[in-house]
Amino acid sequence: MQQKSKHKLKEKPITVFDEKGKLIPEVYEVIDLVADADIMLATGHLCIPEARAVIKAAKDRGVKRLYVNHPEYIINGTIEEQKELADMGAFIEHLAIFMYPMWPTKAGIDGIVEMIKAVGPERTILASDLGQIHNPAPADGLRMFLQVLLDKGIPQNHLEMMVKDNPKFMLSLS
């Protein structure tokens, strides 16, 4: 969201690593809280090396639901890196918003199709991230995204797995 105040916040990146490249203690605290609550841990906008370290630590400490947010945007994770994180037990997210003009990605829709096929539907989750005034409503946008993916050769049963079954597991609804 664009800042409208005359007092701008200075952007300052944060990291989950200390100066030696090890996870900071607070990360373990959060991981333990997530494990104890048996809820999902998402990597947010962590870069791939940070996401890899957090996922490994989380698995080692009993977290069962791991989620990598939109690796094709901000994170710029390669297909090989996405497969690696999925092999570690994480679900890889792809979003409908990236097929709309306000949020295009270098990968484009064909790249997203390639990523889904490489990682597999059993480790992929599709969501919308829509709701902005200049984009379709979330349900409409997701419906269009699914139709485009179907048209691009993703089977109906794979779409159902990625939009219904996998999220159901991640949210502990199964």
116 lies in some domain: yes
Contacts of residue 50, defined as CB under 8 A and 6 or more positions apart, other chains included, come to: 15, 16, 17, 43
- What's the chain's Rg over C-alpha atoms? 17
Distance CA 120, CA 113 (A): 10
Report the predicted TM-score, pTM, of the whole model to 2 decimal places.
0.90
Q: What is the CATH number of the domain that holds 77?
A: 3.20.20.140
Residue whose entry in the numeric block shows the structure tokens 């094709």: 72
Distance CA 14, CA 132 (A): 27
Averaged pLDDT score across all residues of the chain:
93
19 lies in some domain: no
Quote the domain boundaries for residue 41: 25-170
pLDDT in tens, 74-114: 888 999 999 999 999 999 999 999 988 877 788 889 999 99
3 lies in some domain: no
Confidence tier at 171 by pLDDT (50, 70, 90): very high
